[in-house]
Amino acid sequence: MAKSPFDKFTNKELTGAKKKEAFRQEKKAFKRAAREEAAEERKRNEEKYRMIVNVPGTKKEEPKKPEPRHSNAQKEPVKKSFAPSKRSAPQDNDPDKKHRRSKRSFEKDTAKYKQGKPVKQTYEQITQKPTSVNQDDETELMPLNKFIAHAGICGRREAAELVKAGKVQVNGSIVFEPGFKVTGREKVLVKDQEIHAQKNLVYILLNKPKDYITTAKDPEGRRTVLDLLKGATKERVYPVGRLDRNTTGVLIMTNDGELAQKLTHPSFEVKKIYEVRLDKPLIKKDFDAIINGITLEDGFVNADSVAYADSKDKSIIGIEIHSGRNRIVRRIFEHLGYDVKNLDRVMFANLTKKNVDRGKWRFLNDKEIRLLKFMNQSFVRAKDSKEARTKSE
């Protein structure tokens, strides 16, 4: 059947933009209906929550009363009634109403946490360990490598390497962690040798002047080297070895008895260098005699090395010797017929009086202390050279 020319006016179909607009309107209507249904569902849920369930034609059920959180809990349903008074209407419309109670409780809870600096906890509090009654009897906890360094064995980095290499034992067990905490009461072995942390050890280098006695006390009331160290330390220190009253130069003062014994014991043969001023030039024959050795009243002695300190003035001699016998340098030259005008110790165990004026002092640094305790070969005469010298003689 042929289409009528008026069909496009009577059976009009939407096309193009009009069709899209109609689809959008239909979609909006569907969403509107869904929102209305959701609003009704929320309203029904609110009625159940507020315990106001009153369906017409049915028997009213008794709602279950929730457990009150405070004494005024029974009055809350009355306040939340759907027939509020004019006076309570603004409160119901207040958007912050449902948060007021939580804000008040939050402010109440946070009131006791006042702003300020955090409280520092002790090690016992953090580890929940009871504090001891007498804290003075305990050594402060410290890492194992730091404990080894404080014992004077080596520096912290070297100590850490020793621990990692398995050369350190604590109470019979090998420890591989350098940060392992110790108190100082443990039995610590480094290369099978027990070590101890030393507290309040003092090491001082003094440039001793003339007319001072190298002793702690003098019964005759003469000035001692301790008079030069007044106010230097509260610890009781004493000189390592001795220098004559008229001998000047490097002198070590310490309270480390173990180190003092090592520095003065003949078996370690610690090097000492002196500058000697004689009353006349030293001749070649006597020069060789000091090198080869001479026999004094208390035995044979020879210098490690002898040299002229000034090529133009042969009365100024530099002598290196390891012997610790009393007045040994003076007695060597007096035995050869010389009079010592001035004797100055310029080096002792690789320590010099550089930058230390006569009568002044300074503390030794950590590196110098470690070298002293290690008996570094730079200031201890090598055994090989000693044996070679003995064979040649």
Q: What is the CATH number of the domain that holds 216?
A: 3.30.70.580
pLDDT at residue number 2:
54
What's the rounded Cα separation, in Å, for the pair 122 and 130?
10
233 in Cβ contact with 347 (< 8 Å): no
Which of 92, 218, 244, 286 is the catalytic position? 244
Q: Domain containing 166: what range?
A: 138-195
What's the rounded Cα separation, in Å, for the pair 280 and 224?
31
Average pLDDT estimate for 182-209: 87
What's the rounded Cα separation, in Å, for the pair 359 and 225?
9
pLDDT tops 50 at residue 388 = no
CATH number of the domain within which 330 lies: 3.30.70.1560
Whether 93 maps to a domain, the answer reads no
Residues 261 and 367 placed together within one structural domain of the fold: yes
Question: What is the percentage of the chain residues whose pLDDT exceeds 70?
Answer: 66
Residues 361 and 263 placed together within one structural domain of the fold: yes
Whether 121 maps to a domain, the answer reads no
Average pLDDT estimate for 178-205: 86
Which of 53-67, 109-123, 273-287 shows the lowest mean pLDDT across its residues? 109-123
pLDDT at residue number 379:
63
Whether 158 maps to a domain, the answer reads yes
Whether 91 maps to a domain, the answer reads no
Whole-number mean pLDDT of the chain? 75
What's the rounded Cα separation, in Å, for the pair 24 and 18?
10
Whether 45 maps to a domain, the answer reads no
Whether 308 maps to a domain, the answer reads yes
**Per-residue model confidence as pLDDT tens digits over 1-22:** 555 555 555 556 667 787 888 8
3-class DSSP state for residue 358?
A: coil
Q: Cα Rg for the chain, rounded, in angstroms?
A: 48
The domain boundary residue, chosen from 195, 214, 236: 195
Catalytic residue flag (residue 344): no
Average pLDDT estimate for 23-44: 87
Residue 207: CB partners within 8 Å, gap ≥ 6? 248, 249, 250, 251, 353, 356, 357, 358, 359, 360, 361
Whether pTM exceeds 0.75: no
Residues 342 and 365 placed together within one structural domain of the fold: no
Domains of the chain: total:
3
